[in-house]
Amino acid sequence: MASHPTRIPDAVSLPELTVRGMILGALITVVFTASNVYLGLKVGLTFSSSIPAAVISMAVLRALRGGNILENNMVQTQASAAGTLSSIIFVLPGLLMIGHWQGFPFGLTLAICASGGILGVLFTIPLRRAMVVDSELPYPEGVAAAEILRVGSEGDEGTPGAGTKASSDNASSGVREIAFGGVVSALFAFATAGLKVLGESITAWVPAGTAVFRLTTGFSMALIGAGYLIGIVSGLAILLGVVLTWGIAVPVLTTITPNPDGVAMAAFANGLWQHKVRFIGAGVIGVAAVWTLITLAKPMVDGVKTSFAALGKSRGAHGNGQGSGLGRTEQDLSPYWVIGLTLLCVAVWVVTFGVFLADAPLSFGGIATLVICSVVFAVVFGFLVAAACGYMAGLVGSSASPISGIGIVAVVLVSLLILSVSQASGLLDTSEGGKLAIALALFTTAAVIAIATISNDNLQDLKTGWLVGATPWRQQVALLVGCVVGAAVIPPVLNLLYNAYGFTDALPRAGMDPSQALSAPQAILMTAIAKGIFTHQLDWSMLGIGAVLGLALIAIDAVLAKRGGVARVPVIAVGIGIYLPPTIGSVLVIGAVLGWISQRVLKARAKARGQEYGPYAEAAERRGVLLASGLIVGESLVGVAMAMVVGFTGSDAPLAVVGSSFAPTSEWLALLVFAGICVMIVRRVLATAR
C-alpha cells in the first residue's frame, strides 16, 4: 500500500483541511443529505456518497486551481459522513406516527444527530490501526474511492504523475456521468411526481380461489441506481424475499384468513402484508443482525481491547498527536480530545433527553432515572456496535451493512429496559405516559443508529485516507464537521418532506392522498415493534416465523460459503425484500440485473479480445457507479423540490396536467419509457469499453 506511486509520503505536506474545501464539502453535504433523506423515507435505503462527492470535489477544485488529492479526500470525507448520518430517518419519523411529535424540533433533532454522529467518529478512532492499517479487510467502498481520487488527481499540484492530462479528462467525464444520470432521473421523476403523465407503478392482482397473488413493479430511476450499486447477489436475495412474501405468505394468509368486512381484494391482501407478513421480515432481519454480532464477537472484543490499549499508548501525545513522534499518516486525534469530546456529547445527550422528557407526569427522580437509563444504554450499546459496524463496513461495505438489523435489536432491548423502569415509576398508568415511554424508546434507538451509521462509514473513509496518504487527525476533524453540518440539514429537510407528502400512518393535514405518502418502512417497523412491546400486542408468532426462516437462510448461506463461488444468500437482503413494498423491491432487483447484464457482456468482450477482465472493464464499471449515483441524486432532488412546491401551494398535485382518468394510460406509458431508459443505461455503460 505504502509503495503506491500516488500515495503521498509522510515527508510531504500538502494542504488538506482547507477553508474552501470545508465550504465545498458543506455544499455537497446539503445535496447528498437531502437526497439520502428523501430516498431513505421513500424506499428505506440510503446510498454511499463517497465516490460522487470525490468526483464533484475533483472537478470543482481543479477549476479553482491548486487542488490536490488530499484536499479532495477531505471534501469527500466530510460529505460522506453527513450523507451517512441521514440514516437517522430509519427511526425518527416514528415519533410522528405515534403522535408524540407534530414535526421535527430543530434543537432536539440536531442534538441527537450531531452528538450521535460525533460519538460514532470518536468510538472508532482507536480502532483505526487495528482495523484499517493492520487488517486484511477489503473495505470495498474505501478502496474504490481511493482509486477514483488517484486517477482523478494525477497531475495535481504536489501529486506524483504531474503533467498528465488524464486527471482532467477523468474528473470531467465523471461529473458528466453524474450529471447525465441526474438529468435523466430528474426528468423522469418530474413527469411522474410532478406532471403525472407517467405512472409510478403498475400492478396485476391474480386471484386463485381465495388466495391472492400480486405481480407488480414500480418506476423509479433512483431505485434502478440503488439496485445497480448493491449488485446481483443482494438483488436476487431481495427477489427471494419478494417471492416468499407475495408468492407464498400473502396467498396462504388470504386463504386461511376470513375477510368479514368484504373489503376489496387488493386492500385485504395489503392489510395482511402490512400487519402480519412484514413482521416475518423483521424476524429475519433481527436474527441476521444478532448472528452478525455473534460472528463478530471476537473482533468486537479485540476492538475494545485495541481502544483501551491505544488510549494507554497515546497518553504522551499532544493535541493532534504531533508530540508522540509518529509519522504524519499515523497521527490520530489525541486521546484527551477523544475523551473530552465524548464527555461533552454525553452531557449534551443528558440535557437533550431531559428536555425530551420535560412533560413526563413523573417526579424529578423518575425523570432522572429514565434519562440515565436511556443515555447509558445509547452510549454503551453504541460503543459495542461501533466496532461491529466498522468491521462490517470493512467486510461488505457501508451500503451493504445491516444497520436496520442493529436498529431492530436496539429498539427491542431498549423497549424492554424502559418498560421495566416505567412500570416501577408508574409512567405506564396513563395512555399519555405509555405514548411517552414508546417515544423515549424510539428516541434512544435513534441515538444508537446515529452512532452505528457513522462508525460504519468512518473506518471506510479512514481506509481511503490511508491509501492516499492523508493525515488521520485532519480527516477525523473533517468527519466531525460533516456530522455537525449534516445534522443541521436533516431537520428542515424532514419537516419539508413531511409537510409536503406525509408519512404512512402520519399525515400532517386532513384530505391528503395517503398513496402519495412516503413509506418510511424502517420507521414503521421500529414503531410497530416498540408499540407491540409496550402494549403487549406484538405479533410474536410472525416474528418467530421470521426468526426460524432467518436461521434456515443463515444455514443455507453457510453451506454456500463453504462451497465457494459467488452464490450466496445475504439474509438481511431477504428480510428487506419481505418488508419493503413490492413496488420498491422489484425495481431494486431490476437495477441489480442491469448491472449483472453489463458485467456479463463486459466479461464476454474481454474474453473475446484475450484481455483480463479487470483492466478492460475498469472504466465501464466506474461509469456505471457514477451513472447510478446520478440517477439517485436526480430523482431525490426533484422529490425535495416538489416538496417545496407542494408546501407552498398546499395542493397534493399542483403541477399535474392530466386527471385521474388518465392513470391507466400513464402506467403503460411509464412502463415503455422506463424500459427504454433501462436499455439506454446499459448501452451507455457498455459504450465505455469497445
DSSP for residue 100:
S
314 has a pLDDT exceeding 60:
no
pLDDT of residue 308: 59
Comparing 311-320, 388-397, 460-469, which segment has the lowest mean pLDDT?
311-320
Choose the most confident range, by mean pLDDT, from 18-27, 122-131, 255-264, 518-527. Answer: 18-27
Tell which wins on pLDDT, 311 or 334: 334
Please tell me whether residue 23 adopts helix, strand or coil conformation. Answer: helix
pLDDT of residue 317: 44
Tell which wins on pLDDT, 318 or 302: 302
pLDDT of residue 162: 44
459 has a pLDDT exceeding 50:
yes
What average pLDDT does range 283-290 have in this prediction? 82
Please work out, in degrees rounded to the nearest 5, the angle formed at the alpha carbon of residue 328 by the alpha carbons of 327 and 334: 95
Helix 221-243 to helix 613-649 angle (10° resolution) is 100
CB atoms near residue 168 (< 10 Å)? 16
- pLDDT band at 134; cut points 50, 70, 90: confident
CB-based contact 507:102 (threshold 8 Å): no
CA-based diameter of the chain, in Å? 77
Task: HSE, CB side, 13 Å, CA atoms: give it for residue 80.
Answer: 35
Listed residue (434, 413, 409) closest to 423, CA to CA: 434
Torsion of Cα atoms, 481 then 487 then 488 then 490, to 10°: 140
CA 609 to CA 559: how far, in whole Å?
Answer: 36
The full DSSP string for 542-602 is HHHHHHHHHHHHHHHHHHHHHH-SS----HHHHHHHHHS-HHHHHHHHHHHHHHHHHHHHH
DSSP for residue 9:
P
Report in angstroms the alpha-carbon separations of 172 from 152, 158, 167: 9, 20, 8
- pLDDT tens digits, one per residue of 471-484: 889 999 988 988 89
CB-based contact 224:676 (threshold 8 Å): no
pLDDT of residue 171: 57
Please tell me whether residue 303 adopts helix, strand or coil conformation. Answer: helix
Burial class (CB in 10 A: 0-12, 13-18, 19+), 30: middle
CA 558 to CA 107: how far, in whole Å?
Answer: 46
pLDDT of residue 600: 93
If phi > 0 it is left, if psi is from -120 to 50 it is alpha, else beta; for residue 444 that is alpha
CB-based contact 250:582 (threshold 8 Å): no
- pLDDT tens digits, one per residue of 149-200: 876 666 555 555 444 555 555 556 777 888 899 899 999 999 998 888 999 8
356 has a pLDDT exceeding 90:
yes
- pLDDT band at 492; cut points 50, 70, 90: very high
- pLDDT tens digits, one per residue of 205-246: 999 888 999 999 999 898 898 888 888 988 899 999 999 999
Instruction: Kindly report the average pLDDT of the chain as a whole number.
Output: 83
pLDDT of residue 2: 39
CA 181 to CA 170: how far, in whole Å?
Answer: 17
Listed residue (291, 224, 42) closest to 685, CA to CA: 224
Comparing 112-121, 156-165, 517-526, 630-639, which segment has the lowest mean pLDDT?
156-165
Comparing 24-38, 151-165, 541-555, 621-635, which segment has the lowest mean pLDDT?
151-165
CB-based contact 41:518 (threshold 8 Å): yes
Exposure class string for 250-274: b at 16+ Cβ within 10 A, else e: bbebbeeeebeeeeeeeebbbbbbb
CB atoms near residue 84 (< 10 Å)? 36
CA 208 to CA 213: how far, in whole Å?
Answer: 8
Tell which wins on pLDDT, 168 or 608: 608
Q: Please, where are the H alpha helices in 220-326?
A: 221-243, 250-256, 265-272, 278-295, 297-313
Q: How far is CA 503 from the centre of its chain?
A: 18
Please tell me whether residue 202 adopts helix, strand or coil conformation. Answer: strand
Comparing 71-75, 313-317, 509-513, which segment has the lowest mean pLDDT?
313-317
pLDDT of residue 313: 56
- pLDDT tens digits, one per residue of 401-449: 557 777 888 898 999 999 988 877 777 778 888 889 999 999 999 999 9
Helix 166-189 to helix 613-649 angle (10° resolution) is 40
377 has a pLDDT exceeding 90:
yes
Report in angstroms the alpha-carbon separations of 687 from 224, 376, 605: 19, 55, 12
CB-based contact 424:54 (threshold 8 Å): no
- pLDDT band at 639; cut points 50, 70, 90: confident
Listed residue (546, 581, 589) closest to 274, CA to CA: 581
Choose the most confident range, by mean pLDDT, from 79-93, 551-565, 626-640. Answer: 551-565
Listed residue (475, 477, 470, 466) closest to 129, CA to CA: 466
pLDDT of residue 352: 95
Instruction: Domain ranges for the chain, please list them.
Output: 12-156+228-313+338-593
The set of residues, in sequence order, having a beta carbon less than 8 Å from that of 489 and lying 6+ positions away, is 29, 30, 33, 34, 82
Percent of the chain with pLDDT over 90: 28
DSSP for residue 8:
P
Please tell me whether residue 449 adopts helix, strand or coil conformation. Answer: helix
- pLDDT tens digits, one per residue of 54-70: 778 777 887 787 778 88
pLDDT of residue 631: 87
Length, in residues, of the chain: 690
CB atoms near residue 301 (< 10 Å)? 12
pLDDT of residue 673: 96
